[in-house]
Structure 1
Amino acid sequence: MHGEFPSLLGAGIVLLFIFYLGYLSLKIKFPNVILYILLGIVLADVLTDNELLYFASEIGIVLLFFLLGLEFNVKRLGGIAKKIWPSGLLDVGLSLGVSMLMAMAFGMSLFDSFLIGGIAYATSSSITAKLLDDRGRMANTETEFMLAILIFEDLVAPIVVAILIGVSSGETFTTASFLILIGKIVGLTAGAILLGKTVFKRFEKFLARIEDEDFKIALLVGIALSYGGLALYLGLSEVLGAFLAGMMLAEIGKIERVEHTVLPIRDLMLPTFFVYFGTTIKFGDGVPMGLFLVLLIIWSIIAKVLLGILGGPIYGLSKRASLRAGLSMCARGEFSVVIASVAVGSIKIFSGIYIVVAAFIGMLLFEKAPAITTKIYGKPERKKKNLKVPGS
């Protein structure tokens, strides 16, 4: 009977659960993303390999980063790239490098240590971007730095995944294959810049002539999915492709027209990504390497906080904004899941437990980041305005 359960009924039930949990999160003032992930964990046996849920989750994550990309035209992105690379390399050293050395100190092989380093490396782009949007922090001074780090990680993480998959499959990962991978990233980015400067330069006028919203939805979502899908076809991340698709359209004057059309679709589909993410977490029996797991989680938090404290000022942030940024980037997520899929045996169980714990702690730290920063540095002083009193 399990095989006869209609997918349509399952989709309807999942959406009703999403509505209820979203409503509940507002009442109890608890991050809805955590509740969505818990729902996925609870329904993991029922929703395992559910293609409909997977497809909806892909659309949700692609549209999230498509809308993020709209905020960064080529000129702004170029300026950010010049400023972010020192902090980006610091991130690689702290999160990937030190975690890898810790794993080797616990007697793991070079491959398993690199795998653990990869899992502990990338901040969850989807969780962080969703929380920034939900909590109204997109306009904060540290947000550009955080998004720049996420983009840097989205460029490095596919390289890590490619190396791991190449080695685990028995293929030799040569210098040539590494250069080909870099070439794909450069080519995809160059293509987005070229299309943005040519084809989409006059896109605003064309969009203004389309009165029917249905056609607009098909066009804009089609652009986002196509470039995200092209990135996947090239062996890269759909998140990177979607961001570049948004960047292409950022060249138009009024991005509000695009945002207004795409936002409802994103808001419907995005929660399904976190439900699907929950279904991929497999706990297994017991907790392998308990001491190392605790130490890795602690270091994962310290590494991102240090990234904020040390990397933020390099980028030009104040101490206050730097600490807030570091505390807000501790969640691990989708790239960690992709990397963990390469693992086997106890390492896979270890990875699953690490990801879900790190995701939860990271989201809670995001929520508390402003309060913790205020406790350490005090309330920010309001700038006094020189007001002249009449008759004085």
Structure 2
Amino acid sequence: MGAVVLVAGLVARIGRRFGLPTIPCYLIVGILLGPGTPGPVFVAHPGDLSLLAALGLVLLLFHLGLEFPVEQVLSSGRRLFLAAGFYIGLNISAGLALGFALGWGAAEALVIAGAMGISSSAIATKLLIELRRLANVETPAVLGIIVIEDIFLAFYLALLAPVLSGAGSPLGFARDIAISFGFLLLLFTIARYGARVIGTVIGSREDELLAVLAIGLVVLVAGLSEEVGVSDAIGALLIGLVVSRTAVRERVERVVLPMRDLFAAVFFVTFGLSIDVGDFGAVAIPVAIAVVVTVACNVIAGVWTARLFGLNQRAAANIGLTILGRGEFSLILVTLALAAGLDARIGPFVALYVLILAIFSPLLAARSRLLARVLPDWLFRENWRYVREETISTACTHLDQIRVTETDQQECAECVATGDDWVQLRLCLSCGVVRCCDDSINKHATAHFRQTNHPIVESLEPGEHWRYCYIDNTLVRPPLGQRS
């Protein structure tokens, strides 16, 4: 086990040099060093690591609940919930339809729907940081979608638990559903009213004791969840939500993080160890279809979100491709499915699906400009013909130089003086002069900036309301929720 984890860490370190997330690296190492591939077999019986892998799963979900920004979600506004609901509904529906089309049964279809419907928050967050898009105007929408996905995951796991348990009658199924959602309600109630008591139980000035008490609580609640017929993942997620409302939240997060990373790596490697590459051939075509469907659904959802917030093609491409990756949640769902005895082909299907998207999503997200070029203007609320490929930023420090926002001028005075024509007009927001755009012969708007250093211009074309900063070389807009 030590050798496998060490190799996985080394491969992940190499992968990071090429911009790859760690999850596919762990999976690949597990697949290559397991009994399902020719060559060296480091762990002949992956089941020997099942307890450690389960601990990795529990810590992953606990840390997710610990970081969960409840107030941010509740204050996100109607548009964000509409965007997230559309994204989740579209991807879940596509996954469910594909699952039934493959003929794998209702339980398998629900697992496939979840695996295809929930993106990897770890991969998405990492992409936002590495691609330097934290100040982009669409980034709050991206973060909001993945946070709301986390809420949806808790309820989806609660719904899936009775299905995986194989309730024998409608009455038994209804009872299991009631137990699952009743347990959710209990933990939500504890999070709302009992956080102070939980903080007192696990609180300690010594980091060692804090770690022991916190991990003990997490594993206990996860175990109790499984005993009452609810997934241990739900229990871990919701006890994380409880601890997030205590005074020791930040310290718990700090002491648990290294253990989460270590045991999560064991979880992903163990999943890879259980995969037989010989099964990939039987699922290759369904996986290819699933990847194409997911890319299409993400692009559609990105356009829908951009329409809701009045953003352009580049923002739509950034949204859809940033949350394209699938990872930890997909593997958690399929692990629960395999443990319940569902169709064994789900394992290689989801493994290959996650591998492909985890590798290609960073590559596609970094090249979102190419997708932005082909998205037509009629899909959006405004005409972005000349700036469809430009990033819209909220980090411009020159907004305080805006003095003029309206004008009655409808011509470029300098072009009129020389007898030239213009293509489009731009309004200088510092002094109010109107000049022609860079597609015009004289490019007077840019010339005016070079003479005066007035940074921001606004399009005067009908149906266009964008602003551009010459100094930052980007479209600019105040953060979502603030008035322009």
Partner residue, 2:358 = 363
2:67 aligned with 1:71:
yes
Cα distance change on mapping 1:274 and 1:132 into 2, 3 Å: same
Cα distance change on mapping 1:166 and 1:310 into 2, 3 Å: farther
Identity percentage of aligned residues: 20
Aligned partners of 1:203 and 1:252 also within 8 Å: no
Cα distance change on mapping 1:373 and 1:233 into 2, 3 Å: farther
2:321 aligned with 1:336:
no
Q: How far, CA to CA, are the matches of 2:201 and 2:311 in structure 1?
A: 38
Partner residue, 1:251 = 245
- Encode CA deviations 1:204-246: one digit per residue, 9 max, x unaligned: 9x54xx1x33212212222332233333333333333223222
Matches within 5 A, 1:220-369: 220-253=214-247, 255-284=249-278, 287-288=281-282, 291-310=285-304, 323-327=317-321, 328-331=323-326, 332-339=330-337, 348-349=344-345, 351-368=346-363
Matches within 5 A, 1:20-39: 20-39=10-29
2:111 aligned with 1:118:
yes
Q: How far, CA to CA, are the matches of 1:82 and 1:237 in structure 2?
A: 31
Q: How far, CA to CA, are the matches of 1:231 and 1:251 in structure 2?
A: 20
Secondary structure at 2:344 match in 1: helix
Question: Where does structure 1 lack aligned partners over 5 or more consecutive residues?
Answer: 1-10
Aligned partners of 2:52 and 2:266 also within 8 Å: yes
Q: How far, CA to CA, are the matches of 2:185 and 2:69 in structure 1?
A: 17
Q: TM-score w.r.t. structure 1 length?
A: 0.75
The one-letter code of the counterpart of 1:131 is: I
Partner residue, 2:367 = 372
Cα distance change on mapping 1:256 and 1:184 into 2, 3 Å: closer
The one-letter code of the counterpart of 1:23 is: R
Q: How far, CA to CA, are the matches of 2:6 and 2:315 in structure 1?
A: 38
Shift in Å, 1:272: 1.0
Shift in Å, 1:132: 4.5
Shift in Å, 1:370: 4.0
Partner residue, 1:149 = 149
Matches within 5 A, 1:56-205: 56-72=52-68, 75-76=71-72, 78-79=74-75, 90=86, 93-102=89-98, 104=100, 108=103, 112=105, 115-122=108-115, 128-132=120-124, 134-135=126-127, 137=129, 140-141=139-140, 142-166=142-166, 170=168, 172=170, 174-196=173-195, 198-200=196-198
- Encode CA deviations 1:165-212: one digit per residue, 9 max, x unaligned: 416xx555543433333222222322333322x3146689x54xx1x3
The one-letter code of the counterpart of 1:146 is: I
The one-letter code of the counterpart of 1:383 is: C
Shift in Å, 1:121: 2.6
Q: Which moved more, 1:71-80 or 1:146-155?
A: 71-80
Cα distance change on mapping 1:52 and 1:164 into 2, 3 Å: closer
Q: Which moved more, 1:239-248 or 1:284-293?
A: 284-293
Q: Which moved more, 1:68-77 or 1:19-28?
A: 68-77
Larger Rg, first or second structure (1 or 2)? 2
Cα distance change on mapping 1:153 and 1:69 into 2, 3 Å: closer
Given candidates 29, 32, 54, the residue that maps to 1:42 is 32
Aligned partners of 1:101 and 1:113 also within 8 Å: no
The one-letter code of the counterpart of 1:267 is: D
Shift in Å, 1:88: 6.0
Question: Where does structure 2 lack aligned partners over 5 or more consecutive residues?
Answer: 36-40, 373-388, 403-484
Q: State the aligned residue count.
A: 363
Q: How far, CA to CA, are the matches of 2:28 and 2:70 in structure 1?
A: 38
Aligned partners of 1:143 and 1:325 also within 8 Å: no
Q: How far, CA to CA, are the matches of 2:160 and 2:53 in structure 1?
A: 23
Secondary structure at 1:270 match in 2: helix
Q: Which moved more, 1:183-192 or 1:34-43?
A: 183-192
The one-letter code of the counterpart of 1:360 is: L
- Encode CA deviations 1:315-349: one digit per residue, 9 max, x unaligned: x69566664343324414221343355566xx533
Q: How far, CA to CA, are the matches of 2:391 and 2:337 in structure 1?
A: 40
- Encode CA deviations 1:283-329: one digit per residue, 9 max, x unaligned: 44573376544323321333344344436776x69566664343324
Cα distance change on mapping 1:379 and 1:203 into 2, 3 Å: farther
User: Is the helix fraction higher in 1 or 2?
Assistant: 1
Cα distance change on mapping 1:312 and 1:227 into 2, 3 Å: farther
- Encode CA deviations 1:125-150: one digit per residue, 9 max, x unaligned: 7x824335655649652223212213
Aligned partners of 2:283 and 2:348 also within 8 Å: no
CA-based RMSD: 3.8
Q: Which moved more, 1:30-39 or 1:286-295?
A: 286-295
Shift in Å, 1:96: 3.8
Q: TM-score w.r.t. structure 2 length?
A: 0.63
Aligned partners of 2:99 and 2:113 also within 8 Å: no
